[in-house]
Amino acid sequence: MYAIVKAGGKQYRVEKGDTLLVDRMSEDEGAKVTLEPLLVAGDGKDPAFAADALGKAKVEAVVRGHERGKKIHVLKFKPKRGYKKRMGARADLTRLEISNITRGGR
């Protein structure tokens, strides 16, 4: 069974036992969080994406840690003007492990 969940304004396809990196969440390590499902499918039944079916569905995850993403370098350059500016940024991320996906009743 798999689900499409929404976390931090992005959508992810997850299965039980998967780990994923999402934008930083305020929860501590080891905390359980519930993600918003947009679709639940893959158990031999029709996929659930109607509002009433998704209201009963649950996708639970455990916070495994907080990390920093890969550094992204940005270079601004204007030729013949002597202007060159270098910047970098790293994203704050949270690693989640999907612990349970339940479909709920119809």
Cα dihedral: 6, 12, 18, 22 (round 10): -70
Q: How do residues 12-26 score in pLDDT, each as one tens digit?
A: 999 999 999 999 999
Asked whether the whole model's pTM tops 0.75, one would answer yes
87 burial level (CB within 10 Å; 0-12, 13-18, 19+): exposed
Please tell me the distance from the alpha carbon of residue 48 to that of residue 8, in angstroms, as a whole number.
22
Q: How do residues 31-89 score in pLDDT, each as one tens digit?
A: 999 998 988 887 677 787 788 888 888 999 999 999 999 999 999 999 999 999 999 99
Tell me the domain boundaries of the chain: 2-102
- DSSP SS3 for 21: strand
Buried/exposed 55-64: b ≥16 CB within 10 Å, e otherwise: eebbbbbbbe
DSSP letter string, 39-97: EEE-SSS--B-SHHHHHH-EEEEEEEEEEE---EEEEEEETTTTEEEEEEE--EEEEEE
